[in-house]
Amino acid sequence: MPFQMIRNDITKVRADIIVNTANPKPVIGSGTDSAIYAVAGEGDLLAERQKIGDIDPGRAAGTPAFGLSAKYIIHTVGPAWTAIMGSRIYSVTAMQFAFAGSRTTSGEHCISIDCHRCLRIP
């Protein structure tokens, strides 16, 4: 099966995995984050997210999707700011950190995505 990107209400997507732009703290954010928690089941998802604790920018963590049509949620925290000093943009540093971490992080769960690679979820 080829990789697909779908433009739709993320809480209604039938998929193995959805990706949520998460708050670094284990709290319910606003917008898409709030909608995901509402449909998944706030209590269940928040309890699972609290077990993970804080997620550093550039890192990701996985949880079950509970009441969603997806099987898992990948919670990822991106840089929330961009600082420019001279010619250096500091949000790029966080993205480089994410890339490096994705190659070195080992996880408890491994989800096959129909290819010869594996997504590791801490």
pLDDT at residue 47, rounded to an integer? 97
Catalytic residues: 33
The two structure tokens encoding residue 74 = 């990948």
pLDDT tens, residue order, the chain (122 aa):
677 777 789 999 888 888 898 888 999 988 899 999 999 999 999 999 999 999 887 788 999 999 999 999 999 887 655 556 666 555 544 545 555 555 444 343 444 333 333 444 44
Q: Does residue 60 sit in helix, strand or coil?
A: strand
Q: How far are the Cα atoms of 75, 102, 114 from residue 106, in angstroms, in the given order?
A: 16, 9, 20
Does the predicted TM-score (pTM) go above 0.85? no
Q: How far apart are CA 52 and CA 54, in angstroms?
A: 7
> CA nearest 23: which of 33, 11, 10?
33
Tell me the domains of the chain and their CATH numbers: 10-121 (3.40.220.10)
